[in-house]
Amino acid sequence: MSPFDPEGRRAVAAALESAVPGSVELGALDYVECLLTAFDHEPPRIWAAPGEWAGPAGDPGPDAPAWLDLGPWERQAWQQRIADWASVYGRVVAGTADEADLRVVHAHACEATYGDPAYGGNRDGAGWARIGFPEPLHPPAGARRR
C-alpha cells in the first residue's frame, strides 16, 4: 500500500527526479514507499538479509529470511526516523519542503539509484550499469535479493 495518493506520488516522484535524474525510472519512488511502509511487514524492511544466496556457510534453504530482524530499541529508533521522513514527504507533497527536507530527498534518491536492488530501487542493477559499476559479488547478480 502506498503511503501517498496519486497526486502525492507525482509530487514525490518529481522531487526525486529533480534530485537525481533518471532515479524514478530505476525505482526511486518504490524505494521511498518501501522505506515508509517498512513496519507494515514483519520483520520490518530495514536491512535486507543475504536470503537464499548460498555463500560459504552453505545453502541456507528456501526458508532463509529475506530481511534481518531488529531489536526492540532499534525498532524504536527506526519508527521515529520513518515518522520524521513521513513528515518530510508530507511537506514535499504540500509544496512546503525546505532545504533540509530536500537534502533527505536527495539522499534517498541516491540510495535508490545506486544501492542494493533489494530495497526497491536500482531496478535490475540498471543504476550500477549506467555508471559502469561492476555487479557486487555477494550475493552475485543471479542470486540477487528480492
Partner 1 sequence: MTTSDCDVVIIGSGPGGATTAEVLCAAGWSVVVLEKGRNHLVDLEPPHEPLRHFANDEIAALRRHLLGPDPLLEPRTYRRTVEDGERLMVGEVNNLPSTVGGGGVHADAKLPRFREEDFRLLSERGPVEGASVADWPIGYDDLEPHYAAVEQLFGVAGEDGTNPFAAPRSTPYPLPPGDDMPMALVTSAASRRAGLHPYRAPTGVNSVAADGRPACTDCGFCGGYGCPVQAKSDPIAALQRALRSGRCDLRPESYATELVLDASGRRATGVRYLDLREHPEPTVLEVRARRAVVLAAGAFETPRFLLRQGLGGDLVGRYLTYHYQTFTVGLFPAADFPDGTGGERGRSVTHLHDDLVVDSVGLRRAARDAGLPWLRGGVVEHGAGQMPVDEATTYGPGPHHLDAMRDSALRRRMWAFTMQGEDLAQISNRIDLDPSVRDVWGFPAGRVTYAPHRHELAASAYAAPLHEAVMLDAGAEVAFSATSPPQGSLDQHAASSPLGMAPASRHVMGTARMGSDPTDSVVDAGQRLWDVDNVLVCDSSVFVTSAGYNPTLTLVALAHRAAHLLVGE
Q: Which is nearer to partner 1, 94 or 107 (CB)?
A: 107
CB of 79 closer than 8 Å to CB of 38 = no
Q: Which is nearer to partner 1, 93 or 122 (CB)?
A: 122
List the alpha helices (DSSP H) in the chain. Answer: 6-19, 28-36, 72-94, 99-114, 126-130
CB of 138 closer than 8 Å to CB of 116 = no
Strand partners, 4: none
How far apart are CB 1 and partner 1 at their closest, in Å? 22
**What does the alpha-carbon distance between residue 16 and residue 102 come to, in Å, rounded to a whole number?**
9
How far apart are CB 9 and partner 1 at their closest, in Å? 20
- Cell triple for residue 12? 514525490
Q: Which is nearer to partner 1, 90 or 115 (CB)?
A: 115
Q: Which residues bind partner 1 (CB under 8 A)?
A: 18-22, 46-50, 53, 55-57, 60, 64, 68, 71-77, 80-81, 102, 105-107, 109-111, 113-116, 118-119, 127-128, 130-134, 136-139, 145
How far apart are CB 95 and partner 1 at their closest, in Å? 17
Q: Which is nearer to partner 1, 20 or 88 (CB)?
A: 20
How far apart are CB 49 and partner 1 at their closest, in Å? 7
- Cell triple for residue 36? 515508509
Strand partners, 67: 48
